[in-house]
Structure 1
Amino acid sequence: MSTQPGDTAPDQVARLLALVPYLLARGEVRLDDAAAHFGTDADQIERDLRLLFMTGVSPGLPGDLIEVDLEALEGDRIIRVDNADYLARPVRFSPAEATSLVVALRTMVEAAPEEARDVIERTLTKLEQAAGQDGEGLLRLHVTPTPLEASAVVPVLEAALAHGRQVEITYYVPSRDQESQRLVDPRGLARVEDLLYLDAWCHTAQGDRAFRVDRILSARELDTPVADPGARARDLTGGWFTDAETTTVTLRLAPPARWVVEYYQVTAQRPGPDGTIDVDLEVASEQWVQSLLLRLAPHATLLAPAHFADAFTAAARATLNLYEDDGVDLS
């Protein structure tokens, strides 16, 4: 992590935690104004912003990461960020996370330097007071139980599994901020760390899906039996699956666009012709892909899937038509 002289890594982390809410509250900010506000220089703020490209919510798919308008930053020296609204919401811990935090703080307080011990002890006291002797007070810290312990849809899913019946669910995908109705054949429930997943065949998507139970907003057991009563649940504990419905996108990147590999999680990359590279990304939003390609143009080509490429071509032509309608000469 690159910092300016006298600026430590903890300093940069603290600044980043304050920088994003500061920018979200203002919509857009001049780079020099942000530097003055945080008592640093513009080059350091720009390094901070480029680091934001690699941060976001789990599972870290491209649509989950914070977006920074690099064109505005490099051209007009104006900062615009997007896809970071979740930072305005209260932090929520699972019981396991809260317990781990308390244990870690108790361990740290013994070896901490004198100037840090007081802060750790005050934080530890607040956590323990909120948790209470038996942990029931954790809700005062916005701590939510794990889906296995609290989700109202779990009994519905368990009943459907026992009866071999289909389920109609309403599922929320944060990376697209969308809710969708799904008809699924449930095959099993699997606990992976602190999350519970429903393994199912999704008739809506016509494919296997692993749904995070805490993102299932409602579930209704139907009278219709599952299509394949003998289907067995998959092993979801190996870390190979994603919890959102994703599509594999293949991009061909020219050298000026190779920064994508540094900022986004690619699942595979291969050498392409004339110094290019071909990369695969798992994405949950076609709109996000179109936005990325418009930023990368003309240094990136969408190779697959074909219907994404067709949609992007149509969107690019529509954008050009807007400029032509306004009398802008693009030649």
Structure 2
Amino acid sequence: MTATSDRVPRLLALVPYFLARPGIELAEAARDFDVTPRQLRRDLELLWMCGLPGYGPGDLIDLSFEGETVTVTFDAGIRRPLKLTAAEATALLVALRALAETPGVTDTDAVRRALAKIETAAGGAEAPVVVGLAETRGVDEQVRATVRDGLDTERALWIRYYTVARDEISDRTIDPMRLLLVEGRSYLEAWCRSAEGVRLFRLDRIDEARVLEEASAPPERAEPTDLSDGLFRPNPAQPVATLLIGPEARWVAEYYPVEDLVELEDGSARVRMRYADESWMVRLLLSVAGDVRVEAPEQLAAAVVQRAGEALELAELESVR
């Protein structure tokens, strides 16, 4: 099954799509949404249980199937244009402004036109809203300005960077290539001289940055990262954890890339998740202790139990001091 983060936008788009294409074949619709016909049928079966408050037979979305075709016979108001709340409009404005300022955006005019339209529409909002986006949270503005200066002047950068997977801070000299806005976060793509490869550095994990006197000179083999399939790609060499995630920890499957997600009747889910560093995975699992159970591999489960035991022993020692 697909992750909820992929399924919800698809469900919202299905009714307007089928309203505009009555009698379309399921196979063709599945190709348009890049899912299997079986998954599309599951989505449509779920839509049958969605609708207006009251949720009686006359309030729910209704579909008509004829052979391998489908038609929406009652849309429960989903055909109506959506209206942004003040909070939603403000969040969208902040994201668009960040996109407009990102070097490498090919059509900044289109972004600015969208900004102008939303600003006009949001002008009548009842109250101002303060919105914090994940993309900008924790990003030091001095770091952002220094990175842009290095890109504009085509000079190398020295950075102090925090690597989450290894829980360590390192000093690096890099040759900046471009700034990217991916999945709501800002990244600096650069040639890392210590790693001898192209790396993506999250701006909110750069503690310090300094422009160097020497020119930025990525080698010829430094190719831009292909992000057409997303930021994270499965690495067959990495171990795979099978996790049983409770309802309170479902955010883990939304925030981190998972390969499989199977919904269970009690609201929990079973997922398969690759990880590069065991210590990082142990820290993640301990942060949601009680809401996630490790089903495999046994080595990871044992590492979690051991680390938890060490933490309890340390807490007991501190309590008697």
Higher helix proportion: 1
Q: Same fold (TM over 0.5)?
A: no
Tell me the TM-score normalised to structure 2 length. Answer: 0.39
Tell me the TM-score normalised to structure 1 length. Answer: 0.38
